[in-house]
Chains A and B, each alone.
Chain A
Amino acid sequence: MAEYRTHMKIIGDILATTRDDLQDEDGATVTYLIRKANISHSRISRILKTLVSQGLLERNGSQGSNKYKISQNGREFLQAYYSFTNFADNFGLSI
């Protein structure tokens, strides 16, 4: 059975990919993130827009294609996300 992922978990997966699993130094393409985070193009577009506007991701436009890389704020957010995922796990919950 497929595992249910909360919105927060999807954001965590996207940020983790842009931190740990980059294609090159410029960042990850949308196609790469779709494959890694396993979500639709329309949904990831909305999420990426939000993450960039909140300063958690940096967008690098080069040769007509956007690439995404985690920012310092994004790293701090991801660290907090992992800590509090563990905290919620203790209560048998997911954030």
Chain B
Amino acid sequence: MEFLLENILNLIGFLVGLAIGIMSLIGFRNTGSPTLFRLTLAFFSISAGFFVIWAGYMVEDFVIKSGNIERWIQTVGIVIQTVGYFFIAFSHSIKSFFPKSNYFRSVGFIPLFLVSSVQLEHIFRSVSFILLVYGAIETMLSYFENKNKGAISVSVGLAFLALGEFLGWYSFMFPDSLLYPASMIIKIAGLIALFIPVSKVPLTKIKFDEGLEDDELDDKLK
């Protein structure tokens, strides 16, 4: 049951991350926006992280057949996902602080780390949790500013992912309980909520602009 849920979660995470990443990349290629570039990095990282864990489970299931995924594969996947969550939080920190504060412009964004001494995986789960909570709160605050209903769905999605990370991290204290399967179901719900507003963006007439060379994009970013 747990194994099946892990596979479903990681496959959905890979596909949703890839879809949003591709959409962000198309946006970056069309507009040259640095925000869309950061979203591209974020969602390709999240997608790659889920893919690594999914591939690990597939290899374990069909090749190694030991009954347990290699711990280091899971850790690598989580680290890559954390990089993606960092870029989402980083984009919010730029929007919130950089235009207004020279101090934050000079020091950049330094996230608060909740250090755990147990395992590397748990450290990165806790970092992911903080970044996701920050992203969810900032997205919800932006909803109060612009009343864009899609922001509610994304905020709820990020909050579910955060809750899923928290329960996944906490479940190591109760290994045989329902906490871990519950965390995976919540994360699947979070990914679906994340994808709902993005799926409604009209892309019918948007294409990669062949005329925009790299140096022209650089000019736009200035």
Count of chain A residues with a beta carbon within 8 Å of a chain B beta carbon: 26
Q: Are A80 and B150 within 8 A (Cβ)?
A: no
Cβ distance A95 to chain B, nearest Cβ, rounded Å: 4
Are A81 and B31 in contact, with the CB atoms below 8 A?
A: yes
Per-residue A-contact encoding for B148-177, CB less than 8 Å = 1, 0 else: 101101110000000000000000000000
Query: Which B positions have Cβ atoms within 8 angstroms of A?
Result: 23-24, 27, 30-33, 35-36, 39, 88, 91-92, 95, 99-100, 138-143, 146, 148, 150-151, 153-155, 197-198, 201-203, 205-206, 209, 211-212, 216, 219-220, 222
A28 to B216, CA, bound (A): 25
Contact of A4 among B39, B99, B150 (CB under 8 A): B99
Interface-lining segment among A34-42, A60-68, A84-92 = A84-92
CB of A23, distance to nearest CB on chain B (Å): 27
Residue from B92, B148, B198 with most neighbouring chain A CB atoms (10 Å)? B148
Q: Which B residues are in CB contact (< 8 Å) with A90?
A: 148, 150-151, 153-154, 197-198, 201
**Contact of B148 with A89 in the complex, beta carbons under 8 Å:** yes
Contact B27 A87 (CB under 8 A): yes
Residues of B within 8 A of A84 (CB): 27, 30-31, 33, 36, 201
Is A92 touching B23 in the complex (CB atoms < 8 A)? no
Q: Which residues of A contact B206 (CB under 8 A)?
A: 79-80, 83
Q: Which secondary structure characterizes the binding site on chain A?
A: helix
The answer to the question of A54 belonging to the interface, with a C-beta cut-off of 8 Å to chain B, is yes
Which A residues between 40 and 95 are near B, CB-CB below 8 angstroms? 50, 54-55, 73, 76-77, 79-81, 83-84, 86-95
The docked-state distance in angstroms from the alpha carbon of A84 to that of B142 is: 16
Give residues in A with beta carbon < 8 Å to B: 4, 6-8, 11, 50, 54-55, 73, 76-77, 79-81, 83-84, 86-95
Given known A-B contacts A89-B148, A90-B198, A95 and B154 have beta carbons under 8 A apart? no
CA gap between A5 and B94 in the complex, in Å: 13
Closest Cβ neighbor of B196 among chain A residues: A90
The docked-state distance in angstroms from the alpha carbon of A87 to that of B99 is 21
Cβ–Cβ contact B30 & A73, under 8 A:
no
CA distance A36 to B100 in the complex (A): 24
A14 to chain B, nearest CB (A): 13
Given A83-B203, A95-B33, are A89 and B27 also a contact pair (CB < 8 Å)? no
